[in-house]
Structure 1
Amino acid sequence: MQRNFSFFLILPVITILFFAAPDHHAQAQQAEDPDALFEQARTVASDGNLEEARELALLILSEFPEYHDVRIFYARTLAWEQRFSDSRTQLQIVLRDEPEHPEALSARADVELWDGNFRAGLEYANRSIAVRPDQAGLYVQRARILIGLNRFSAALSDLDSAENLDAEHSERIQQLRNEIQQDQHRNIAVFGMSYDQFGDDLDPYQRMYGEYHRLTDYGPVIGRISVVHRFDITDWQAEIDSYPILSSNWYAYLNAGLSGGELFPEFRFGAELYRSLPQTFEGSAGLRYLNFRDDDVIIVTASISKYWRSWFFTFQPFFTPGDAGVNTAFNGIARKYFGDPLSYASLVGGFGFSPDDRRIIDGTAAERLLKSRYFGVDANYLVRNRLQLFGETKVTFQQFPFLTDYTRIITLETGIRYSF
C-alpha cells in the first residue's frame, strides 16, 4: 500500500519532466529542413505577422548564417516597417559576402527608394540590372527611382525596356507612365476663395486668391496674390513661398510677403527647416515674422509629423512672445490618402490663439493674446490628370476684447488647381 502511494507521488513529477523535456526530434527536423521553415516564414509574413516571420527567419539564420535568401527576406520585413537602418545592416552582410548578389542589390535599391534616398537607390538599381539585364521588374524598379529624381525621359526609356522584356508588367508600367505625365506638368495654377461668417453681427471676412506653382528640380516655388474685404476696406497681399530641397533628408520652407497694410501685415517673413527622421517621422523648427503699422510679431514654431500606412499626422505648436506674456497655440491634422497623394481628406483642429493673420487684423499686441479653438475638415480630389478640386469647412470660437463670450466663426473655402 505504501509502495502504491509512493508511485502516485512520483507520477506527476515524471509527467512534468516528460512534457518539459526538449523535443530533440523537432529541433533536428527544423535544423535539417530550413527550406520548409523558410516557406512557413513567408506564409506567416503574407498573413501580416511580420514579427513571427522574423523570429522564424532568425531561427534559420542561427544555424545557417549564410542562407542569404532568408537574410534578404528578413531585411525586407524590416524595411516594410520603415526600419531602414536595420534593413541596410542585414543586406550589407550579404553584399559583403557576395557583392553582386542580385536579390540583395534589388532589395537595397528598394530600401533606398522607400526611404527617399533616390541617388543611393539608383546606384544599387544600376548594379542589379548589370547582373541581370533580362529582368523586367528591375527596369520598373529603376524607373520608379528615376521618377523620384525627376529624370522622366530616362524613366520612360526603362519602362519601354521592361515592357519589351515582359508584357505582364503592362498595367504597372501604364500607371507609372501616367504618373510621369502628371509629374511632367511643372506648372500649377490655383484659384480659391473663402468666406468667414462671424457671429454677434460682426462683419464677414471675404478673400479671393490666385497662385502659380513652379515645380523645379530644387523644390517647388509658389507665387500668391490675395485680395480681402472687411469693414468696407479692401486690401491685397503678394507672397512668394519656396520649399528648397537641401539633401535627401533635409528641406526648408521660406516665405516673404508685402501688402497694402490695411488688413494684412505690411511685411511678413517665414522660415522653417524640416528633417526626415527614422520610422517615417518628420520634425521641423522655424519662425514667422509679421510687421504691422504699430508693432511687430514674432512667432516661434516647431512640428512633429508621422506617416503611417495611408495616413499622415502632424502636431504643431506656436509660441508668440510679447510684453503681455507668451501666447501659445497648438494645431493638429489627421489626413487620410485615397490611392494617390492628391486625393485626401483631413480632420483639423487646434486651440490657443490662432496664428492665422485673419484673427489678428487691426489688433493690439495685448489683444493677440486672446484665445480661440477650432475644428474642421478639408479635402482635395484629383478629378483628372490635371484638374484638382479642394475645399474646407471650419468652425472657430474666438475671443474678442469687446465681447464677454466666444464668437463663433464659420469658414467655407473652395477652389481648383490645374496642372500644365
Structure 2
Amino acid sequence: MSLLQKVKLFAVISFVIVAGTVSAQSTVNADSLLQQAQQAAQQGNYNTSRKLARKVLVVAPAYTDAAILIGNTYTWEQKYDSASAVLKPLLATAPSHAEVYLALAQLGLRSKEHPEVILSYVDKGLAIAPQSQELLEYKIGALIELKKYKEADQLLESLTEKGITYKNIKAQLHNLASINSIRTEYQYATFNTNIPDWHLASLEYTRLIKPGSISGRVNYANRFEQQALQGELDFWPRLNDKTYLYLNAGFSASKLFPDYRAGLEVYRKLPLNMEVSLGARTLVYSNETIWLYTGHIGKYWGKYWAGIRPFIQQQHRKVQATGIIQLRRYLIDEDQHLTLTLAKGSTPATQVGLQEINRLDASRVGIESRFRLGNSCYWGALLQYEHEELSKESSRNRYTTSFSLQYRFE
C-alpha cells in the first residue's frame, strides 16, 4: 500500500470515528434535554419545557417525542390552535407513532372537537398500540360524546376485567345511559315570628328524549293553614350544540299557587367555558299578574363554577330588582358538588304565594349540597337563611331546610 493510500484510509477511519462520536453525543444531549423538558412540564413550567424541547429539535429534528411534548403543553394551557399547529403535521412525518394519535385525541376532547374525528385518531393509535390504556380511555370518552353508551360500557367492562378500576367513570356512564329519573324534595321553613311553619314538597319524573329532556312535576304546599297542589311541565330542547331552551308551564286551582305560570329562557354556550341566558317568567294570580325578566352569565374553571343571575320583577307600575350570585365547587365529578348562594332583592327562590312575592326586600344566604348514593341514587340538602322586609315597619327571619332524593334508571 502506498503512502498516499495509507493517508486516505486514515482520513476515512478518522471521519467515521468523529462522526459516530458526534452523533452519539447529539443523541445523548437530545435525550438529556428531553428529560429536562418533561420534568419542567410535570412541574407546570410549560414555557421552560417548550424551550428545552425546541433545543432537542435543533439537535435532532426528527425527535417526535419532543414535538409531541410541545403540543401537549399547549393543550394543557388551553392554547388549542398552537397545539394543533404543532401536532397535526406529525400525522405526515410520524404516522406510525402511537403517541401522536394519543396527543391529538387529548387535544380533540379538550377543545370539543367533533367526537367522530377524535374516535378516528384513537382507532389509528390503537391499530399501532392496541393495549394502550390511555387510548382506550379516550375512546370511551369519544363514544360517550357520540352517545354510544352501550359500546362505551362494553369497552369499560373489558378494562375492568383487566383489574383497572374506573368507579367514577362507570357511575357517570350509568347516569348518561339512564334516560329516566324520579326525584322528590321536601322543604321546611320556620320563622322568628308567630307564623306557622311552611311546608313545600314535590314529586318529579324526567325522561331524556331526542330533542332534550322533559319533566312533569306535582308540587304540594301547606301555608297559612291552607293546602294546595300545582302541576308543572318543563321542557329543555336543544337547538344545536351550543344553544338550548328552557320552557315551563304550570297550573293550579288553589289560592296559594298562581292560577297559571309560564317561562321561557334561551341558553347559549360561549368560548372560554362560559354560558349566558336571557328569558322571562309570568305568574298569573286571580287578581294580579307578575312578570319576571331574568338571565344569567356563568363561567367554569377547573372544579369551580360561578354565576350571576338578576331578576327584574314587574307588578303594575312597580318594578323591583334582585341579584343572585352563586359559587359552586365540584367534588369527585360534575354530579356531586357544594353551592354557595348569596341574594339581595324581593324575588324569592321559589315563587309560590303572592304574599311572599309582594315583600319589599330580602337578603338571602344558602349552602346546598348534592352527593351520590351508589350508581343510581343522589341526595341533596339545603340550609338557607333569609331576612325579609315585608313593609317599612315589619320584617322577619326565615330559616329553610330542604332534602331531596333522586333515582335514575334506564
What is the TM-score with the length of structure 1 in the denominator? 0.79
- In structure 2, distance between residues paired with 1:57 and 1:35: 10
Paired residue for 2:384, among 364, 379, 394?
Answer: 394
- In structure 1, distance between residues paired with 2:165 and 2:112: 20
Is 1:313 matched with 2:303? no
Paired residue for 1:232, among 205, 214, 225?
Answer: 225
Letter in 1 for 2:203: G
**Structure 2 equivalent of residue 23 of structure 1:** none
User: For residues 159-198 of structure 1, what are the alpha-carbon distances to aligned partners after superposition, in whole Å with 9 as ceiling and x for unaligned?
Assistant: 356578xx3xx32456544443343333221121111223
Letter in 1 for 2:45: N
Is 1:76 matched with 2:72? yes
Letter in 2 for 1:414: F
**Structure 2 equivalent of residue 38 of structure 1:** 34
Structure 2: state its 5+ residue gaps.
1-24
Paired residue for 2:132, among 129, 132, 135?
Answer: 135
**Structure 2 equivalent of residue 147 of structure 1:** 144
Report the CA distance shift for 1:236/1:131 in structure 2 as closer, same or farther (over 3 A). same
Q: Deviation at 1:382?
A: 1.0
**Structure 1 equivalent of residue 397 of structure 2:** 408
Identity, in percent, stands at 26
- In structure 1, distance between residues paired with 2:317 and 2:61: 66
Say what the alpha-carbon RMSD is for the aligned residues.
3.2
- In structure 1, distance between residues paired with 2:42 and 2:158: 30
SS at match of 1:339: coil
Count of matched residue pairs: 384
SS at match of 1:243: strand
User: For residues 139-169 of structure 1, what are the alpha-carbon distances to aligned partners after superposition, in whole Å with 9 as ceiling and x for unaligned?
Assistant: 23211221233312211333356578xx3xx
- In structure 1, distance between residues paired with 2:274 and 2:403: 30
User: For residues 75-132 of structure 1, what are the alpha-carbon distances to aligned partners after superposition, in whole Å with 9 as ceiling and x for unaligned?
Assistant: 3223334444443344334446567764333223223323445344334333433454
Letter in 1 for 2:119: L
- Contact kept, 8 Å, 1:82 with 1:278, in 2: the verdict is no
Report the CA distance shift for 1:62/1:355 in structure 2 as closer, same or farther (over 3 A). farther
Is 1:418 matched with 2:407? yes
What is the TM-score with the length of structure 2 in the denominator? 0.81
**Structure 2 equivalent of residue 352 of structure 1:** 345
Q: Deviation at 1:345?
A: 1.7
**Structure 1 equivalent of residue 122 of structure 2:** 125
Is 1:210 matched with 2:207? no
Q: Deviation at 1:325?
A: 4.8
Is 1:88 matched with 2:109? no
Q: How does 1:81-120 map to 2 (within 5 A)?
A: 81-95=77-91, 102-117=98-113, 118-120=115-117
- In structure 2, distance between residues paired with 1:266 and 1:64: 76
Paired residue for 1:272, among 265, 272, 276?
Answer: 265
- Contact kept, 8 Å, 1:390 with 1:414, in 2: the verdict is yes
- In structure 1, distance between residues paired with 2:189 and 2:345: 19
- Contact kept, 8 Å, 2:26 with 2:60, in 1: the verdict is no
Q: Deviation at 1:34?
A: 4.3
Structure 1: state its 5+ residue gaps.
1-28
